[in-house]
Structure 1
Amino acid sequence: MNIEWKIVPARELASLAASWDALQARLLPHAFLRTHFLLPLLEQFGTGQELLVYSEGADGWTVALLVQPIGQGRWNTFQPSQLPLGPALLPDGNTEALLQSLLRRLPGLALSLGLTQQDTLFCKVTADTPTLRRQHYIDTAWVDIETDFDTYWEARGKNLRQNSRKQLKKVEGTGVTPRLDVIEAADEVATALAQYGELETSGWKAELGTAISMEGAQGRFYQRALEGAARAGQMRIYRYWFGEEVVAMDLCVHQGDCLVILKTAYQQAHHAVSPSTLMRVDEFRALFAEGRFKRIEFYGRVMEWHTRWTEASRPLVHLTAFRWGWLKALQDWRARRAPATA
């Protein structure tokens, strides 16, 4: 495959944003793969070794990836934990040949290139080839918006419906009327993230050190990324209130007819009434009534609680391209032997 690759430091994505975003809108339209999301990721979590690789034709870019070295001769897509999918914008067609071409243009002697967390809704590689490995990563869940909310809700399990009704009555029995609001303006993001950080610090994420702090890299990233998404009209923050207290929040981005829930937090002190569940009932009811979106994505490993909201799931996969077929065969052989020799 004859592709003229251009390879530049990833920081140059800022000056090439229009070209990346135009290709992204055609090939993989999720707002977290827009440059207003990727540039803050590179700024806060990049090492400076990341590269932007792309090729262009008469009508603009045809393929683009953000990649990083991970060891001698080994490369992966740039994949901080805050990014649901690997930033690889690939056209339909011969993925194996395309990646073989790129391997021979990356700096040094590139032996392998991994495309992490690829969505099988868009990635059409269905099996291994002589130089390309396809590995299951996780299953992810989503909700299709195809009916009215009442029809959708009636199809949920009896436990979810009954428990949420009981929990709501318990809250209302204290004299509190829960309410949901939505933030979409960039100038409200900082305040909302401070509230979100307070929710996370009330729970287990504080113990792990993964709660959002406005002074830390997580807080700086989310503020810049969500403000950028808000300016593009692609951000929503849902807040659920008990009176004057915020008790649950969802951080979301959207593009086209799909909304992605990036993060959820709730006030641990109210866990007995599941404020995140009560929030999601009202949130989903509003989304179904709005008629703007056709799909709600969770983009994370399917958990038991996901299955209460949907039966739908699909795999995310890792792809690894090897420079030579014999190298893939050797790696496959070593992987098969590992359990027997452990």
Structure 2
Amino acid sequence: MINLFRNRLDRMLTKKSVIIVAVVIVPIMIGVAIYFSGQTLSKDTVAVVHDDAKDIPSDPRINIVQLDEKPPLSSFVLGHYNFLVEKKGENYKVFTLKTESDKKSIEQLFNKGHLPKSYRGEDQIRAERGIGTNILGFITMLILIQGVALTTLYPEDRLLKTFSRILTSPVGVGKYLFVQSIFTFLCLYIPSYLAIVITSLVSGVDIGYSFGMLAVLLGILTILATGFSIFMASLMERNISLVTSGVSIVTCVLAGCFVSFTSKNAVLNTICAILPQKAFMTLIHGVEIGKSMLDFKGQLSYMFVWTIIFWIIGGFVTKSRVKKGIY
């Protein structure tokens, strides 16, 4: 098993693109996320196409910008504006890429002169989540995507028929996947942890956790990502990184890794609650606001179960294909 691990390391060192992404690109993205998370959060910006400033209401929870013409859609996608308000007859109509509830709140401001007391802008929502939760939420997506990239030697062995030759040695499928998991975990965990710590020390940004607690939380996330990478690499033969990236992004959005996500659709809310990232977000937010990790035994157990399921399915699929002579 030690020789197999050394083989992983020696071969990975020849893959410059993977090394550059793992050691350079991902840490840079983590550093950027930490830096901007430490900056002052801006309020929602409302673009108003109106020629009479006297008729425009105001509220300290939002920024209102008066424009002479309608801004392009790209300005909303890029976040320059959150809402567009235009007068249609006697009433104001609102366009936004945010939720229907947010849209109705802004319509109420312009049509009735005041925002609902319950209205919370993006700055308030992100501030309540905490810097640490925002940082680790973004890093969750990076870790899930990068995990499969660092498991690339596994599908490569199958493609080159090296995998079948390895299995003729005392190393079976279980030991092979175990070594690959250890290798993936270490290559994910070490650069990511160092990137967070170094960026925090250099920039002076408070990441919301002690370095010791960060080590534990990042370890939990990396274990989950390792199981996910083994699962995806075992299940798929081609376009593994592409599919994994899509799955990771969509599930992280639904789990609220970037901003809190809610829907009126009961089925969609159920799907969101099932995702292991949702349990991780609950855990890291609770820890950041001062609760003990032991208060989240349910979330920890749930993520552990998901990780075991990923490994079991990955191993079962691989062993089945080996018995069928596919590998």
With normalisation by structure 2, the TM-score equals 0.22
- The structure, 1 or 2, with the larger RCO (C-alpha pairs under 8 Å, 6+ apart) is 1
Structure in which a larger fraction of residues adopt strand = 1
Larger Rg: 2
With normalisation by structure 1, the TM-score equals 0.21
Structure in which a larger fraction of residues adopt helix = 2
